[in-house]
Structure 1
Amino acid sequence: MENCSTAATPMSSSSKLDKDDGGQSVNITAYRGLIGSLLYLNVSRPDIQFSIGVCARFQANPKLSHFTTVKRILKYLKEIQNGAKLIERVTSGTCQFLGVRLISWFGKKQTSVATCTAKAEYLVVL
């Protein structure tokens, strides 16, 4: 998948995944391995949670249409990986209350420059 095209979204809005009894079967082990890797990313990537959940429903008997959708998620992750570097800010702080009234607050932003986290996550998937 290193030389594949990229996708702007993790799932096509026009695709309707169903049981697809008449579809071509695919390697169950490979499909489950991809779903497992994507489920690992599920925690840190809320943008792909729905797509992974839909694809995970078909682990018992995956068809080519399901596998194609999983590959689109990987193409989406590749698109994210190819994005610009992100500047992440870690925010910490405290609030002081007297009863129900806020009397003081403090916040601190720490800047850390890092490449997109999808790069490391994408490598885990492969």
Structure 2
Amino acid sequence: MENCKPVNTLLAQNEKLIKEDGANKVDGFIYRSLVGCLLYLTATTLDIMYATNLLSRFMQNPSELHFKTVKRVLRYVKGTNELEIWFKKNESSRLFGFADSDWVGSHKDMKSTSGYVFFIGLNVFSWNSKKQRTMAQSTAEAEYIATAAVVNQAI
């Protein structure tokens, strides 16, 4: 992957990743190793959090499409390796956060994914992306669950 062509987006727009997609299976050890590396990178690269969360759902039985998507994320990382997290001194030390969710993002089990990010002033200091434990019956409920996770983290 050293000489790969970088891409500007993490995930292809029209590809839906599902557990049993009928494609040929790939070596699970290599797939798990690459996803593990991406999980390690999420500690300092928050923009890959959602994609890494999504890819980690297929660790048990990855297909060629899942492996292709992991390689795409690695190509994205290569193209954005100059991006950094900066902590700047500023006058404001106000704490604020943002939350969002997708409703029924996982069509296999009909669960949503929540994500949040916290700032102190202009500095990002905490972020997360996680599949919700329960099935939300509406977008409002999925957003409520995401907001509850943010409040829990803030406290």
Band the TM-score falls in, shorter-chain normalisation: 0.5 to 0.7
Bigger relative contact order, structure 1 or 2 (CA pairs below 8 A, ≥6 apart): 1
1:43-62 map, 5 Å: 43-62=43-62
1:15 CA displacement? 1.2
CA distance in 2, matches of 1:39, 1:32: 10
Whole-angstrom distance in 1 between the partners of 2:24 and 2:85 = 44
Structure 1 residue 57: Cα displacement: 0.2
Which residue among 84, 89, 95 is the counterpart of 1:91? Answer: 89
- Within 1, Cα distance between the matches of 2:56 and 2:74? 14
The one-letter code sitting in structure 1 at the alignment partner of 2:9 is T
Using the TM superposition, give the Cα deviation of residue 48 of structure 1 relative to its aligned residue in structure 2, in angstroms: 0.6
TM-score normalised by length of structure 2: 0.53
Structure-2 change in CA distance of 1:8 and 1:61 (3 Å): same
SS of residue in 1 equivalent to 2:89: strand
Of the structure 1 ranges 58-67 and 35-44, higher mean CA displacement relative to structure 2 is found in: 35-44
**Structure 1 residue 6 displacement after superposition:** 0.8
Superposed CA offset, 1:85-106 (max 9, x none): 86945326687xxxxxxxxxxx
Q: Which residue of 2 aligns with 1:120?
A: none
Instruction: State the aligned residue count.
Output: 93
Specify the alignment match of 2:32 in structure 1.
32
- Structure 1's 87 and 36: CA in aligned 2 closer, same or farther, altered over 3 A? closer
The TM-score, its normalising length taken from structure 1, stands at 0.65
Residues 60-82 of structure 1: per-residue CA shift (max 9 Å, x gap): 0000000000000000011112x
Q: Secondary structure at the match of 1:90?
A: coil
Residue 8 of structure 2 contacts residue 76 of structure 2 at CA under 8 Å; is this kept in 1? Answer: yes
Q: Cα gap change, 1:31/1:87 in structure 2, threshold over 3 Å: closer, same or farther?
A: closer
62-71 vs 3-12, which deviates more? 3-12
Q: Which runs of 5+ in 1 are unaligned?
A: 96-126
Let me know the Cα RMSD of the aligned residues: 2.4
Q: What CA distance in whole angstroms lies between the structure 2 residues aligned with 1:55 and 1:87?
A: 23
Provide the rounded CA distance (Å) in 1 between the counterparts of 2:14 and 2:92: 46
